[in-house]
Amino acid sequence: MSEPISRATPARATPAQATPVGATPAPAGERLARRAATLDAGDPLAPVRDRFVLDDDTVYLDGNSLGALSTGVLPRLTDVITREWGHLRIRSWEESGWWTAPERIGDRIAPLVGAGPGQVVVGDSTSVNVFKALVAAVRMAPEDRTEILVDAATFPTDGYIAESAARLTGRTVRPVAAGETAAAAGPRTAAALVNHVDYRTGRLHDLPGITSALHAAGALAVWDLCHSAGALPVSLDADGVDLAVGCTYKYLNGGPGAPAYLYVRRGLQARFDSPLPGWNSHADPFGMAPGYAPGEGAVRGRVGTPEMLSLLALDAALDVWDGVSIADVRAKSLALTDFFLECVAALVPAGRLQSVTPAAHAARGSQVSLRCAGAAGVMRELTARGVVGDFRRPDVLRFGFTPLYTRFADALRAARVLADVLGEATGETHPTEGTP
């Protein structure tokens, strides 16, 4: 449901907004510029921006599709290519730790999703891992549980794979709204595949509550974390999640096509029956036995030879998380999206936009999606003017806020350019004071 963007009350009040009694209020642009400067000056994550390759000519608000390059990736890949591959060659599988990289890097991701060690393995694409997780979940369910619940607004691939998993296991798929999953689960439900954050709207769904309801109904919970991990706290172990998947090229900044990850709760690992039993997950991979015997633990999620270059690029990218508190990330994410919505309300011509992202913090991920007539053309013009977001048909502008490198000044600049583009289309103007 779309929500009107209110001009009445700013999303988040700070002392910097106070106006002395009897003083003339500052124009909107000037007030917002002062607030952006104050918020950036007090940002505990501000130094982390220097860990990324960025330019001040562009406001990059598409980290929910592809995260920025971190400064440590190029030297790491240079060493991998010239020394590990170029000099050591085949010896690097042992001497450089290539063979154990999927589990080792999985253990680096684990704290970002609230998982203990030994439960996350990195490799393959998100789509492949969704297939592994969902089929394995259904195989663990009794045969009389004949349906798979799927988020009706899911990213299309998740839906396609759920249909394939259902055909493979003799089940049927029932699409339901993510928020209705808990109520829809019943004695016929084998498993549910749910997105933690909706990719179109940025709505954050109730992972603990839905997981608990699925378990009460005797079903397993499979979560897609693509738009949440790295942007907000996730507590897979504490919330009892059974299986989860996620990509690493969005908020984890692993690079285009970076390998995804698969979480299998420790208590289920012995029962995890992968539909893709490759030699890398065999108990004795170099025994080359004709029969398959699964390995122990998270290694069961592996299939074939790891994609080493992209896997080790991801390893280097994860260095940016050293010393970073996920609580600080979440606090800044909410503050950024609040401030952006406040700037849009103050600067954009009235009636041109509607937010489809929930106003409530408990239901918001780390993006703002705005419904706009002519959205495709608007986004093209924004990009041409140095504000990079993206567009989803038919009429949604998406702006992803990556707290590790997005500044409050960036949020203001994006709103100002958006106001310019829409104002030019209507002939309206907006305040120009205090442009950062």
CATH of residue 294's domain is: 3.40.640.10
User: Residue 2: its pLDDT value, please?
Assistant: 64
More confident residue, 247 or 429: 247
User: Residue 434: its pLDDT value, please?
Assistant: 31
* pLDDT over 60 (residue 428): no
283 plus 333 within the same structural domain: no
Q: Indicate whether 432 belongs to any domain.
A: no
Each residue of 163-186: pLDDT tens digit?
999 999 999 999 999 999 999 999
By the 8 A CB rule, do 389 and 217 touch? no
Is-above-0.85 flag for pTM?
Answer: yes
Distance CA 85, CA 309 (A): 10
Each residue of 57-112: pLDDT tens digit?
999 999 999 999 999 999 999 999 999 999 999 999 999 999 999 999 999 999 99
CA distance between the termini of the chain = 33
> Last residue of some domain: 321, 354, 384?
321
> Last residue of some domain: 321, 340, 355?
321
* pLDDT over 50 (residue 121): yes
**Domain that residue 110 falls in:** 73-321
- CATH code for position 359: 3.90.1150.10
Q: Indicate whether 433 belongs to any domain.
A: no
Distance CA 158, CA 148 (A): 12
343 plus 389 within the same structural domain: yes
Q: How many domains does the chain have?
A: 2
180 plus 259 within the same structural domain: yes
342 plus 298 within the same structural domain: no
360 plus 231 within the same structural domain: no
307 plus 329 within the same structural domain: no
302 plus 368 within the same structural domain: no
Each residue of 398-424: pLDDT tens digit?
999 999 999 999 999 999 999 999 998
102 plus 232 within the same structural domain: yes
Active-site residue numbers? 155, 224, 249-250, 398
Taking each helix axis from N to C end, the angle separating 126-139 and 156-169, rounded to the nearest 10 degrees, works out to 40
pLDDT band at 425 (very low <50, low <70, confident <90, very high): confident
154 plus 15 within the same structural domain: no
349 plus 297 within the same structural domain: no
User: Residue 3: its pLDDT value, please?
Assistant: 67
Among 132, 121, 118, CA closest to 276:
132
Q: Indicate whether 79 belongs to any domain.
A: yes
Q: Indicate whether 59 belongs to any domain.
A: no
Each residue of 217-263: pLDDT tens digit?
999 999 999 999 999 999 999 999 999 999 999 999 999 999 999 99
Collapsed DSSP state (helix, strand, coil) of residue 260: coil
> Last residue of some domain: 293, 321, 349?
321
Q: Which residues have C-beta within 8 Å of that of residue 73, sequence separation ≥ 6?
A: 255, 313, 316, 317
Each residue of 295-349: pLDDT tens digit?
999 999 999 999 999 999 999 999 999 999 999 999 999 999 999 999 999 999 9
Q: Which of 4-8, 234-238, 284-288 has the lowest mean pLDDT?
A: 4-8
211 plus 247 within the same structural domain: yes
32 plus 169 within the same structural domain: no
Q: Indicate whether 388 belongs to any domain.
A: yes
